[in-house]
């Protein structure tokens, strides 16, 4: 049985050929604490951009999960954006040859408001490897959030 704390660290890339803007992480994406009851097959934790969390398989989620929260200021008004996360999939820190894979990154809002500001959230799915025993540990990883305005 494992009590895990999963934290994913983000860095940022602003990609806009003609527009400068500021991208800020307001809240890190964090899957919180959960227990892998059995790892005889892959199990998943799904964290939506609105903060809802569900699990499939033999994982019990019990504390502190939060979607990543980000904000943009100084962009063009009413601009459509494209948000990407790399790498996707992302393998979170391997402890005793165990890892969690984060993938299926999902996003909320993708258009700036009339003042050129935007807030958006990021959710994702993490999945166990389905073989062996996990140790109680903090599993971490890093990803890059890229926001593009054409």
If one compares 9 and 67, the residue with the highest pLDDT of the two is 67
Q: Are 33 and 119 within 8 A, CB to CB?
A: no
- Residue spans of the domains in the chain: they are 2-148
Question: pTM, whole model, 2 decimals?
Answer: 0.85
**How does pLDDT run across 64-96, given as a tens digit for each residue?**
789 999 999 999 999 999 898 888 888 887 766
Burial class (CB in 10 A: 0-12, 13-18, 19+), 18: exposed
Report the chain's mean pLDDT, rounded to a whole number: 84
């Amino acid at each position: 049985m494992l009590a895990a704390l999963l934290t994913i660290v983000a860095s940022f890339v602003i990609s806009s050929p003609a527009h400068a803007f500021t991208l800020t992480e307001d809240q890190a994406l964090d899957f919180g604490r959960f227990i892998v009851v059995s790892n005889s097959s892959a199990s998943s934790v799904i964290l939506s951009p609105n903060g809802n969390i569900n699990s499939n398989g033999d994982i019990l989620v019990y504390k502190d999960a939060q979607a990543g929260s980000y904000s943009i200021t100084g962009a063009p008004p009413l601009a459509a954006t494209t948000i990407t996360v790399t790498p996707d999939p992302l393998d979170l820190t391997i402890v005793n040859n165990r890892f969690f894979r984060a993938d299926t990154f999902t996003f909320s809002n993708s258009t700036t408001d009339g003042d050129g500001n935007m807030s958006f959230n990021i959710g994702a799915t993490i999945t166990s490897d389905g073989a062996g025993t996990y140790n109680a540990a903090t599993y971490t990883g890093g990803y890059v959030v890229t926001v593009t305005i054409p």
